[in-house]
């Protein structure tokens, strides 16, 4: 990697920088282009490293990033960053729209950080996940949302609370994600899951993060048949058929473009993991 990379640069060196930044919460697609979001991620990483936040990646920042551990040893950092982006769209969107409590609508509770739904959390888990990441006043203000259906008015009442992206990343990558990795291993078979290529494991964790680990649902609903088929294909070693099951799941959301696109992206990730995708 060159000693210095800055906004406007392109190429493999930028992609490698983005990969390194994702270890510390960059939330960046590895697209080879040093644009405004990469520059913002560089500044944030420089602050974490105790460096001047110039937005220009130099040898000091690169060395610090290289010394940081990968957030998870089971799925690749690129897959972790992808799952986070699916929850909040981008680091820019997080800083604009998601750093304060939101209500996504429907049956959701008040959500903070990277897709952390307070309705689904026990008091004990909430305390363990956030007590060292948020001010005591914010912890207290958010506590009544545990187990409670959200609303726009409730979210508005919590506008004074804020979850910095750095705190959201620690919660997501170090605390929440490992639980989903464990759920995914159990759902698809621990030995079978562990034997998959890393990106394939990432695609499955993304699916479970979005849909949960329950694979059984009786007719006539049976919204889990493709997930069971994925488990069966993996058990037989018929890995080439799995991407098709991701895409077949789109039947469930005929009018929801975001979820249909997510299943396509997960299928693409699976195929890249097998070495059959671009």
pLDDT digits (tens, 9 = 90+) for 18-64: 999 999 999 999 999 999 999 999 999 999 999 999 999 999 999 99
pLDDT score of 277: 62
In angstroms, the CA 90 to CA 54 distance is 21
Peptide bond into 220 cis (omega under 30): yes
In the three-class reduction of DSSP (H, G, I as helix; E, B as strand; rest coil), residue 199 is classed as helix
In the three-class reduction of DSSP (H, G, I as helix; E, B as strand; rest coil), residue 33 is classed as strand
pTM of the model: 0.93
Q: Residue 5 pLDDT > 80, yes or no?
A: yes
- Are 43 and 64 in contact by the 8 Å Cβ rule? The answer is no
């Amino acid at each position: 990697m060159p000693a210095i990379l800055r906004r406007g640069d392109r190429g493999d060196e930028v992609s490698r920088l983005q990969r390194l930044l994702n270890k510390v919460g960059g939330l960046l697609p590895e697209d080879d282009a040093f644009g405004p979001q990469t520059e913002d991620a560089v500044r944030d990483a420089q602050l974490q490293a105790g460096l001047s936040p110039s937005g220009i990646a130099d040898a000091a920042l690169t060395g610090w990033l290289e010394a940081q551990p990968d957030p998870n040893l089971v799925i690749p950092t690129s897959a972790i960053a992808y799952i986070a982006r699916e929850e909040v769209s981008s680091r820019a969107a997080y800083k604009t729209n998601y750093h304060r409590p939101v209500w996504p609508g429907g049956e959701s509770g008040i959500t903070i950080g990277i897709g952390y739904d307070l309705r689904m959390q026990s008091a004990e888990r909430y305390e363990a996940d956030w007590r060292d990441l948020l001010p005591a006043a914010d912890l207290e203000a958010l506590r009544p949302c545990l187990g409670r259906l959200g609303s726009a008015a409730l979210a508005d009442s919590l506008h004074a609370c804020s979850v910095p992206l750095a705190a959201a990343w620690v919660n997501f990558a170090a605390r929440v994600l490992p639980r989903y990795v464990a759920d995914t291993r159990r759902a698809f078979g621990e030995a079978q899951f562990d034997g998959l290529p890393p990106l394939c494991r990432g695609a499955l964790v993304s699916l479970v993060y979005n849909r949960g680990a329950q694979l059984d649902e009786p007719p006539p609903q049976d919204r889990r048949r493709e997930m069971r088929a994925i488990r069966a294909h993996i058990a037989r070693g018929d890995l080439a058929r799995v991407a098709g099951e991701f895409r077949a799941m789109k039947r469930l959301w005929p009018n929801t473009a975001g979820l249909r696109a997510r299943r396509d992206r997960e299928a693409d990730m699976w195929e890249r993991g097998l070495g059959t995708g671009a």
